[in-house]
Structure 1
Amino acid sequence: MAVRRTSSVVAIAAFFFLFCFCSVSHSKQEQSHHPLNKSSSSSSFSLSFPLKSHALPHHKLKPLRSSLTAASAVAVKAPFKYSMVPVVSLPIGTPPQTQDMILDTGSQLSWIQCHDKAKKKSPSADAAGQPSSSTTTFDPSLSSSFSVLPCNHPLCKPRTPDFSLPTSCDQNRLCHYSYFYADGTLAEGNLVREKFTFSRTQITAPLILGCATSSGDDKGILGMNLGRLSFPSQAKVSKFSYCVPARAARYGPSPTGSLYLGDNPNSGTFQYVALMTFFQGQSQRMPNLDPLAYTVPMQGIRIGSRRLSIPPTVFRPDTGGSGQTMIDSGSEFTYLVDEAYDKVREEVVRLVGPRMKKGYVYGGMADMCFDGDAAAIGRSIGDMAFEFEKGAEIVVAKEKVLAEVDGGVHCVAIGRSSMLSAASNIIGNFHQQDLWVEFDLANHRVGFGRADCSRS
């Protein structure tokens, strides 16, 4: 959720409100097979799925945290609504049960709800005409493709390169995992295999998922990072993209954005930035690095027409991994290391300092906050831009610089990383509103394109 993270080997885990930890690995046999079964006569096409918003209560704020061939490329489109986190509803199982999952590019292992936390709705037909249960939780007994991993399975080893905490065998000799959250809550269950059933002709092979029998929330996680157990890695999806719609008015309807798995018809307008890549041995020598995150070489930050005097090295990982800059759909705010945050705050104080709410710190890490006319304050601050190589940039319009946080208070949606005991930069989903973000895994790059996400 944005709010969660599933990597436990890196110190960056402290960033995330629902950062999770588990200990599993993917066998070579699992990696070798091609999970998307497609009709040989099909070319590129899209499927849409309904989405709904998920607002996080303030006490649970997450401080933000394909091998398809050209002839048979698959583009799956799913809309999502935005409140605090992007939530996509996906059909899982046989017959499919629609599950709400938080789209999180900072998580690896996907997991679904498998307990009776909320009342299930009656079965209905999905977009493809197949029976589908629109449920908050997944009922394994209704799916013919569901299976549970025994604790002697290769994926249930005590320790693996990707995770530092061991899995365990439960009383039924099944592989048990636990996600520990920074707020003290826990999500745990069994590792299972299950299919994503997008249509009659687009069904993945069984993927490794977590089946949570106990958790502190009513949504699952769609883990989309670079790990071997992430959804893109297991489903052999070489490209995916999403468009986060602008926030709705406090009492207005939530607009709907989009998630594409596969080709995006809008990609001709995108600006691309090469992803930074890391090797396992390298990351072991860099304790503050998350090697599975989508790391980008940011060059600088601009407010209005002024480029702030921040050395580009502040946005790059140093010898210990500090300074890494990542794109994260699961984090709400953007987070900056002290050297960058101080420069941003200095400029905001120069522009609108007298109007700042003195002594107010939101969530323990954001202190550029205001009472009063947010629109006027935004105009005084101006547009903000995160700059990358070759002229690529993420431009945040002045109307979207401030986030309403509590009781009419508005804050610049940037937090200080050090207040979270972390040492990285994270570009969160607040600063991805009305922006296509494409992760082109085959070409090791990320693309950005302006959009009206509610119409894309």
Structure 2
Amino acid sequence: MAFPLLLLLLQSFISYSTTKPIILPLKNQKIPSMSLPKPPNKLFFHHNISLTFSLSIGTPPQNITMVIDTGSELSWLHCKKSPNTQNFFNPLLSSSYSLIPCSSQSCQTQTRDFPIPPSCDSAKLCHVILAYADESSTEGNLASETFRFGDSAVPGTVFGCMDTSFSSTPLEDSKNTGLMGMNRGALSFVSQIGVSKFSYCISDSDPGGVLLFGDANFTWLRPLNYTPLIQISLPLPYFDRVAYSVQLEGIRVSDKLLQLPKSFFVPDHTGAGQTMVDSGTQFTFLLGPVYTALKNEFLNQTKGILKVLDEPNFVFQGAFDLCFRVNVSEPIPALPTVVLMFRGVEVSILGGRLLYRVAGEERGGDGVYCFTFGNSDLVPLEAYIIGHHQQHDMWVEYDLKNSRVGFAPMRCDLAAKRLFFRV
């Protein structure tokens, strides 16, 4: 990052991105059910829907697809040094690729927020291991390369060139070239390119949505309501200091406020209990006592509307134990609204966002649908995580300059059509 030419190019990118936003199509990629593990009664926690966008890297450019993940720092690619480069990046074909030594600043100081510190391999190159909540992991070397998207090129972008991965769902793992880390860490993609804002809008339909770097100054965009990011400077064992951490203050089901102590929503002395906005996690997870209160109130308000799946051992993805039988030939009945009450803003989760049909699970003429809020204690996770399923049809803005996250209801398919097809 110290080379004058690189600084000039980065300054050009930053200047461009602040005057004219970079708008990219965002896709909802569904993983075929045949790739998911299916024990008799329990489906292990995994991601079977990913948010992806396409770009190119290297010289000459290689086309890749990456999952956007606001819950991760380091971007990484599946690397393969062979002629078959489908869903892989081949570093041997790029003249702008370079490996990063252990002695570099990127390896020694900029990785301070990595959960697993980097190590030095036999060639004195920076070796990294990344592990995720679904028990998948990947490892390889820190490297730099030119990333291209929109009309911009960003040389010297630091990322992980990964040659070893472990996943319980290998077909899922292989459908994308890699993952784009977009949290607030020093080596996240948004930190490296220096944008002050980015946003996305996710849709179930085609087009799948929008990913935008820069200001979203559109006359048709509703005013956003913001909640501040929570900062804790002291290192705590269970607090992620570079996550988009906000303050959840309560939950309503329709007009009924869950009667819970405020202390349930505040991180404790270990950092456990923070609330993170995470595009890389599919559903929303709540700590045990809050989850139980929400589950009980939702059951109370849907009595006579939904038929509970009477199978105590059935737990979807290991954390979702509230499931129902719903007639697949009829529309889902009207459901109560779940309102997440953040400091300064409320986010309403409506209708179809509250239930998710489990692929391959049927009972007579009924499909199995599970409540899309899971129990963090069953995963286990030490945090509240707001997943992307609950963010659909919502314009979500990450305002890094002002340390806040903004929300506004939006038909994201229409937003994408306005931006890409000018309708």
Shorter-chain TM range is 0.7 to 0.9
How far has the Cα of 1:273 moved from its partner? 1.0
Which of 373, 380, 390 does residue 414 from structure 1 map onto? 373
Q: Which amino acid aligns with 1:336?
A: L
Q: 1:423/1:375 Cα in 2 relative to 1: closer, same or farther (>3 Å)?
A: farther
How far has the Cα of 1:36 moved from its partner? 4.7
Mapping for residues 220-299 of structure 1, pairs under 5 Å: 220-246=178-204, 255-266=207-218, 269-279=223-233, 282=234, 284=235, 286-299=236-249
Q: 1:183/1:85 Cα in 2 relative to 1: closer, same or farther (>3 Å)?
A: closer
Is 1:337 the counterpart of 2:287? The answer is: yes
Identity over aligned pairs, percent: 36
How far has the Cα of 1:344 moved from its partner? 0.6
Which of 54, 61, 65 does residue 29 from structure 2 map onto? 54
CA distance in 2, matches of 1:389, 1:184: 32
SS at match of 2:292: helix
CA distance in 2, matches of 1:104, 1:313: 29
Contact 2:25 2:210 in 1 (8 A): no
How far has the Cα of 1:377 moved from its partner? 9.2
Q: Which amino acid aligns with 1:58?
A: L
Which of 347, 362, 367 does residue 394 from structure 1 map onto? 347
Contact 1:35 1:206 in 2 (8 A): no
Is 1:102 the counterpart of 2:67? The answer is: yes
> Which residue does the alignment assign to 1:149?
100
Provide, for residues 112-135 of structure 1, a one-character-per-residue CA deviation record: whole Å limited to 9, x for no partner: 121269944xxxxxxxxxxxxxx5
The answer for unaligned runs of 5 or more in structure 2 is: 167-172, 362-366, 416-423
SS at match of 1:227: coil
SS at match of 1:370: strand
Q: 1:339/1:376 Cα in 2 relative to 1: closer, same or farther (>3 Å)?
A: farther
CA distance in 1, matches of 2:269, 2:8: 37
Greater CA drift, 367-376 or 92-101: 367-376
Q: Which amino acid aligns with 1:436?
A: W
Contact 2:146 2:154 in 1 (8 A): yes
Normalised by the length of structure 1, the TM-score is 0.76
Q: 1:409/1:268 Cα in 2 relative to 1: closer, same or farther (>3 Å)?
A: closer
SS at match of 2:160: strand
Q: 1:396/1:39 Cα in 2 relative to 1: closer, same or farther (>3 Å)?
A: closer
How far has the Cα of 1:334 moved from its partner? 0.5
Which of 389, 396, 401 does residue 430 from structure 1 map onto? 389
Q: Which amino acid aligns with 2:197?
A: K
Contact 1:63 1:332 in 2 (8 A): no
Q: 1:59/1:293 Cα in 2 relative to 1: closer, same or farther (>3 Å)?
A: farther
SS at match of 1:393: strand
CA distance in 2, matches of 1:322, 1:376: 42
Q: 1:374/1:34 Cα in 2 relative to 1: closer, same or farther (>3 Å)?
A: farther
Mapping for residues 16-415 of structure 1, pairs under 5 Å: 35-38=10-13, 44-49=19-24, 51-56=26-31, 57-59=35-37, 63=45, 84-115=49-80, 119-120=84-85, 135-157=86-108, 161-163=112-114, 165-181=116-132, 185-198=136-149, 202-216=152-166, 217-218=173-174, 219=176, 220-246=178-204, 255-266=207-218, 269-279=223-233, 282=234, 284=235, 286-353=236-303, 355-358=307-310, 359=312, 360-373=314-327, 379=333, 381-390=335-344, 392-406=345-359, 407=361, 408-415=367-374
Contact 2:81 2:92 in 1 (8 A): no
Q: 1:40/1:178 Cα in 2 relative to 1: closer, same or farther (>3 Å)?
A: closer
> Which residue does the alignment assign to 2:419?
none
CA RMSD of aligned residues (A): 3.3
Q: 1:144/1:431 Cα in 2 relative to 1: closer, same or farther (>3 Å)?
A: same
Q: 1:228/1:27 Cα in 2 relative to 1: closer, same or farther (>3 Å)?
A: farther
Greater CA drift, 406-415 or 33-42: 33-42
Provide, for residues 175-230 of structure 1, a one-character-per-residue CA deviation record: whole Å limited to 9, x for no partner: 22222456665422211111222355x22241110011222422211101111111
Is 1:439 the counterpart of 2:384? The answer is: no
CA distance in 1, matches of 2:248, 2:132: 29
CA distance in 1, matches of 2:72, 2:343: 26
Q: 1:33/1:162 Cα in 2 relative to 1: closer, same or farther (>3 Å)?
A: farther
How far has the Cα of 1:294 moved from its partner? 0.8
Richer in strand (by share)? 2
CA distance in 2, matches of 1:382, 1:299: 20
Normalised by the length of structure 2, the TM-score is 0.81
Q: 1:441/1:110 Cα in 2 relative to 1: closer, same or farther (>3 Å)?
A: same
Q: Which amino acid aligns with 1:138?
A: F
SS at match of 2:413: coil
CA distance in 1, matches of 2:106, 2:357: 43
Q: Which amino acid aligns with 1:177?
A: V
Provide, for residues 301-323 of structure 1, a one-character-per-residue CA deviation record: whole Å limited to 9, x for no partner: 11122222123332221222122
How far has the Cα of 1:155 moved from its partner? 2.8
SS at match of 2:49: coil
CA distance in 1, matches of 2:87, 2:27: 12
CA distance in 2, matches of 1:419, 1:118: 43
Contact 1:62 1:332 in 2 (8 A): no
Q: Which amino acid aligns with 1:269?
A: P
CA distance in 1, matches of 2:240, 2:369: 31
Greater CA drift, 179-188 or 270-279: 179-188
Contact 1:300 1:311 in 2 (8 A): no
Q: Which amino acid aligns with 1:432?
A: Q
> Which residue does the alignment assign to 1:126?
none
CA distance in 1, matches of 2:128, 2:16: 40
Q: 1:34/1:272 Cα in 2 relative to 1: closer, same or farther (>3 Å)?
A: farther
How far has the Cα of 1:342 moved from its partner? 1.1
